[in-house]
């Protein structure tokens, strides 16, 4: 235990020794900060030089590849590009990936593309730039790849350009290793250890006094490089500072201990009595030997021990009761999301802690009203309680005013009738509560701060008629705020739990249901359709040439197209229909109790809604540009095309491929299961659903609509057959 003598010693040390310690820390931190700042600036310049050099190398490779691609004699152009030093190797492949020409002495794999998004790990043996090889009509004939090896010579050139040590990492398998480096043999391990978990662009120090920085792989700089420079900090600086601090500490401790001992000698007797009280002996008394400050302290101590003995018994009882309430309340908050159960327990605990006769917990609902979620002790006397849950308008009565203003209220009701929305009572106390800090709306109050105005409280905890007729006091207000805080946490936890459940089943970009919910919904709808003899249609939608949108306008524009496409899909389906994002640009629409004819009608509407108006996006240049978007759709129906949910989804996906092969911007119905090849499914002119409006499964039903994979709406075919 730290005694008064120890505290006085520490205080003197803080006064005498503190400036010495602060000065030493300041000198050390300043020297270190200046050294780190200089190293950081140097590494930043080096990182820029590395990016510029590699970008120039990639541009050189692109020029070589373009030269080969634009020349009819690919072999001669490739040989000339290698001989002129534009590339170490040139590889020409056709559309199937077969190599039609390759220059000798090509660098070993793996090659890393200059323009593609770069993975965080992996080894790099060469940099490559690939360009498409086209004929005069614009048809793709293959690719031309120009490569340059990533070898010690390249790393040495980068080090010479930047003026720092350059290390190339190799993470092909397991932890990263050094592939090539210009660092000294003794510093390789330290640089590798410091850069193992260092993010790109950050600077870190090593154990041997170096500073390192990761530089890539990023877009435009595909090599995983580590740049390092030695520290310029003076050697032995910290040892000198530590010696000065230790010497000052020894002298300060000796002087402080002597001064503290002389000062605290009269307090030894008082300290002994305090120790006895701390051990539980409340009969301990301190002799009053003088009238100075020590004597007055002894008198106050003796009076305190006498009063403490009287309070102890009462506190023990109330403490045990409060612990019981808080234990039950804490267990309930942690183990359940049943809001009604939690609020009832909070209200019961608040009534027991304050001695109130009745109370209520009211939550704010849309429409500007407070709804009593739970009440106790009113026996149906709350206004409006006979017609359902009691409600109070915001601003009406005590609780309505508390919710509207965010100010707690307590008091005694006079002989006048109760205000509208308030139950008959003699005394009352009401405390607002809001979501915990960081989750509430702007302007909302804290659950423990009732003195700050709020735009709208989350709810109100109100108690009425304290037993014995006494008015509620400030202690009751503090207690009620504690329980109101528990109510706020309970309501917020339940709402966060519900929101988390919703987010786990939705796609954050489009707001549609995600693939996890698709599997569950498809299984449920197929089981329901099988049980009641109904039909379920599945539409698989895929945006045509979406990769071109990403490559041309950027991924941000692609996200805009996906979000707008999802919005149009939602606008064309019924409330009972379900739309999902299966992944990438592929979506699924589930149509319960819909046959093939109805599914093709929906497919027509969806195709028209997508192609009807272009999507306006912001491209790489920052200019808003319209993009014409089309969609291909595959249709499958349970039980016509499959017996299970996954099989129906697979059949619709195969029909989507048929729609893609037919020219895109169209739809196809899956082939009937009894047919081995694609055949037409005629649509009877007078085909219609049964009298109840719900299509049924069975022979001769659900087969209307366009032929499976053979016909579609009259949309012009697109080019190519890829998805």
CA distance 364 to 487: 13
Q: How many folded domains does the chain comprise?
A: 3
Distance set, CA 656 to CA 5, 669, 712 (Å): 85, 8, 12
Residue linked to tokens 């009807």: 612
Buried/exposed 146-159: b ≥16 CB within 10 Å, e otherwise: bbbbbeeebbeebb
Domain boundary among 497, 523, 545: 497
172 domain-assigned: yes
The C-alpha atoms of residue 478 and residue 459 are separated, in whole angstroms, by: 17
d(CA 480, CA 433): 10
Among the ranges given (134-148, 321-335, 459-473), the one the predictor scored with the smallest mean pLDDT: 321-335
Q: Are residues 52 and 187 in the same domain?
A: yes
Owner of token pair 């039609």: 100
Q: How do strand 126-134 and strand 111-113 relate by DSSP bridges? A: parallel
Asked if residues 392 and 399 have their Cβ atoms less than 8 Å apart, the reply is: yes
In a domain? residue 353? yes
Beta bridge partners, 99, equal 93
* Tokens 């990182």, located at residue: 47
73-82, 143-152, 186-195, 344-353: least confidently modelled range: 186-195
Question: Which tokens go with 116?
Answer: 């593609």
Domain stops at, among 182, 200, 230: 230
Is the whole-model pTM more than 0.75? no
Residues counted in the chain = 723
Of the candidates 173, 157, 212, the residue with the CA atom closest to the CA atom of residue 189: 212
CATH number at 461 reads 3.30.450.40
DSSP string of 53-74, one letter each residue = HHHHHHHHHHHHHHHHHTSS-H
**Structural contact between residues 89 and 82, judged by C-beta atoms closer than 8 angstroms:** yes
pLDDT at 95 over 50: yes
Give CA–CA dist 671/596, Å, rounded. 12
Same domain, 46 and 107: yes
Q: Tokens 């999902």 belong to which residue? A: 580
Higher pLDDT, 347 or 390: 347
Cis peptide leading into residue 520 (ω within 30°)? no
Coil, helix or strand for 579? strand
Q: Are residues 177 and 65 in the same domain?
A: yes
Distance in angstroms (rounded) separating the CA atoms of residues 517 and 519: 5
Domain residues for 344? 336-497
Residue for token pair 């849309």: 366
Nearest Cα to Cα of residue 162 among 215, 206, 217: 215
Q: Residue 143's beta-bridge partner residues? A: 93, 132
pLDDT tens digits for range 427-481: 889 999 887 655 544 334 444 444 444 445 788 988 988 877 678 888 888 888 8
- Confidence (pLDDT) at 630: 96
**3-state DSSP percent of the chain in helix, strand and coil, to 5:** 45, 20, 35
Is the same domain home to 118 and 46?
A: yes
Contact 481, 370 (CB under 8 A): no
Look at residue 343 and tell me if it is in a domain: yes
pLDDT 10s digits, 174-224:
577 787 888 887 777 778 777 777 787 788 888 777 888 888 788 777 888
Element (H, E) at 592: strand 586-592
CB 369 within 8 A of CB 391: yes
Shared-domain flag, residues 472 and 521? no
Q: How far apart are CA 159 and CA 181, in angstroms?
A: 9
Structure confidence at residue 214 (pLDDT): 84
- The H-assigned helical ranges of 533-595 are 546-553, 555-572
Residue 719 placed within a domain: no
Is there a domain that residue 291 lies in?
A: no
Rounded to the nearest 5°, which phi and psi values hold at 142? 160, -155
Which is nearest to 64 in space by CA: 51, 74, 50, 54?
74
The helix/strand/coil state of 248 is helix
Whether 306 is covered by a domain: the verdict is no
The crossing angle, in degrees rounded to 10, of helices 4-69 and 152-162 is 120
328 vs 522: which has the higher pLDDT = 522
Residue written as token pair 């920085």: 213
Q: How many CB atoms lie within 10 A of CB 456?
A: 17
Task: Note whether 475 and 573 are same-domain residues.
Answer: no
pLDDT at 316: 66
User: Whose structure tokens read 């310049």?
Assistant: 45
Instruction: Please indicate, yes or no, if residue 28 is contained in any of the structural domains.
Output: no
What average pLDDT does the chain have? Answer: 79
Residue with tokens 């190398």: 57
β-bridge partners, 625: 617
pLDDT of residue 712: 40
Q: Answer whether residue 597 shows pLDDT above 70.
A: yes
Asked if residue 467 is part of any domain, the answer here is yes
Report residue 169 as tokens. Answer: 């990492």
Give yes or no: residues 449 and 553 share one domain. Answer: no
Residues 493, 520, single domain; the answer is no
CA distance readout (Å), 677 to 408, 652, 672, 674, 705 = 76, 15, 9, 9, 18
Q: Which of 308-317, 376-385, 587-596, 648-657 has the lowest mean pLDDT?
A: 376-385
Pairwise CA distance, residues 487 & 475, whole Å: 19
Same structural domain, 144 and 70? yes
- Same domain, yes or no, for 492 and 636? no
The closest of 376, 263, 349, 352 to 7, measured between CA atoms, is: 263
Q: Which position has the higher pLDDT, 536 or 496? A: 536
Q: Are residues 368 and 468 in the same domain?
A: yes
How is residue 485 annotated by DSSP?
A: H
Instruction: Between 205 and 383, name the one with better pLDDT.
Output: 205
Q: Which two tokens stand for residue 496?
A: 């966060």
Contact 128, 111 (CB under 8 A): yes
- pLDDT surpassing 50 at residue 71: yes
Dmax over CA atoms of the chain, in Å, equals: 117
175 neighbors 195 (Cβ within 8 angstroms): no
Among 185, 208, 230, give the residue marking a domain's end. Answer: 230
614: domain CATH number? 3.30.70.270
| 99 and 165 part of one domain | yes
CA distance 343 to 359: 11
Cα-based distances in Å from 248 to 23, 27, 242, 260: 12, 16, 10, 18
Which DSSP symbol is given to 506?
B
CA distance 203 to 210: 10
The fraction of the chain above a pLDDT of 70, given in percent, is: 80
């Amino acid at each position: 235990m730290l005694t008064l003598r120890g505290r006085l010693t520490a205080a003197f040390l803080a006064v005498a020794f503190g400036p010495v310690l602060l000065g030493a820390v300041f000198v050390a931190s300043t020297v270190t900060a200046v050294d780190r700042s200089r190293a950081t600036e140097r590494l930043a310049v080096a990182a820029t030089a590395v990016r510029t050099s590699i970008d120039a190398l990639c541009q050189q490779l692109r020029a070589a590849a373009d030269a080969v691609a634009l020349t009819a004699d690919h072999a001669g152009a490739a040989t000339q590009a290698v001989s002129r030093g534009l590339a170490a190797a040139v590889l020409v492949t056709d559309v199937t990936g077969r190599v039609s020409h390759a220059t000798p002495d090509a660098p070993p794999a793996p090659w890393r593309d200059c323009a593609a998004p770069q993975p965080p790990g992996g080894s790099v043996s060469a940099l490559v730039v690939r360009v498409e090889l086209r004929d005069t009509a614009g048809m793709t004939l293959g690719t031309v790849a120009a490569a340059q090896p990533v070898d010690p010579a390249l790393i040495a050139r980068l080090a010479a350009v930047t003026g720092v040590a350059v290390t190339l990492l190799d993470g092909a398998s397991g932890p990263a290793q050094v592939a090539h480096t210009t660092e000294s043999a003794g510093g390789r391990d330290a640089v590798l250890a410091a850069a193992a978990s260092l993010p790109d662009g950050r600077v870190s120090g090593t154990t041997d006094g170096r500073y390192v920085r990761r530089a890539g792989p990023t877009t435009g700089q595909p090599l995983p490089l580590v740049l390092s420079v030695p520290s310029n900090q003076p050697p032995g600086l910290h040892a000198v500072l530590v010696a000065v601090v230790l010497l000052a500490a020894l002298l300060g401790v000796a002087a402080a201990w002597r001064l503290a001992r002389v000062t605290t000698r009269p307090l030894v007797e008082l300290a002994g009595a305090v120790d006895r009280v701390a051990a539980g002996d409340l009969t301990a008394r301190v002799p009053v030997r003088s009238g100075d400050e020590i004597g007055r302290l002894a008198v106050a101590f003796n009076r305190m021990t006498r009063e403490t003995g009287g309070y102890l018994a009462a506190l023990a009882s109330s403490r045990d009761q409060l612990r019981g309430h808080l234990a039950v309340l804490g267990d309930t908050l942690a183990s359940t999301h049943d809001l009604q159960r939690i609020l009832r327990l909070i209200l019961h605990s608040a009534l027991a802690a304050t001695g109130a006769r009745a109370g209520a917990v009211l939550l704010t609902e849309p429409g500007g009203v407070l709804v009593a979620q739970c009440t106790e002790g009113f026996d149906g006397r709350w206004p409006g309680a006979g017609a359902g849950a009691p409600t109070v308008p915001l601003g009406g009565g005590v609780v309505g005013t508390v919710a509207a203003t965010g100010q707690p209220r307590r008091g005694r009701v006079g002989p006048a009738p109760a205000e509208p929305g308030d139950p008959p009572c003699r005394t009352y106390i009401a405390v607002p509560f809001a979501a915990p800090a960081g989750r509430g709306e702007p302007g909302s109050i804290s659950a423990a701060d009732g003195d700050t105005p709020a735009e709208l409280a989350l709810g109100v905890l109100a108690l009425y008629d304290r037993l014995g007729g006494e008015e509620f006091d400030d202690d009751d207000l503090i207690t009620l705020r504690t329980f109101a805080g528990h109510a706020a946490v309970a309501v917020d936890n339940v709402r966060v739990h519900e929101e988390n459940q919703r987010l786990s089943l939705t796609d954050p970009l489009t707001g549609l249901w995600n693939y996890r919910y698709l599997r569950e919904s498809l299984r449920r709808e197929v089981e329901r359709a099988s049980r009641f003899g109904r039909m379920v249609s599945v539409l698989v939608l895929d945006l045509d040439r979406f990769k071109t949108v990403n490559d041309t306008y950027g991924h941000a524009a692609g996200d805009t197209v996906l979000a707008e496409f999802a919005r149009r899909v939602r606008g064309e389906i019924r409330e009972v229909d379900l739309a999902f994002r299966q992944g990438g640009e592929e979506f699924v629409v589930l149509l319960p109790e819909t046959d093939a004819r109805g599914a093709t009608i929906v497919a027509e509407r969806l195709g028209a809604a997508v192609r009807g108006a272009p999507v306006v996006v912001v491209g790489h240049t920052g200019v808003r540009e319209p993009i014409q978007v089309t969609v291909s759709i595959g249709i499958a129906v349970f039980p016509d095309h499959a017996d299970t949910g996954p099989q129906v989804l697979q059949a619709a996906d195969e029909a989507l491929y048929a729609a893609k092969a037919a020219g895109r911007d169209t739809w196809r119905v899956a082939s009937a299961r009894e047919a081995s090849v694609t055949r037409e499914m005629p649509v009877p002119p007078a085909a219609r659903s049964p009298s109840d409006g719900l299509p049924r499964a069975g022979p001769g039903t659900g087969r209307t609509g366009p032929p499976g994979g053979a016909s579609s709406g009259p949309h012009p075919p697109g080019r190519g057959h890829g998805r």
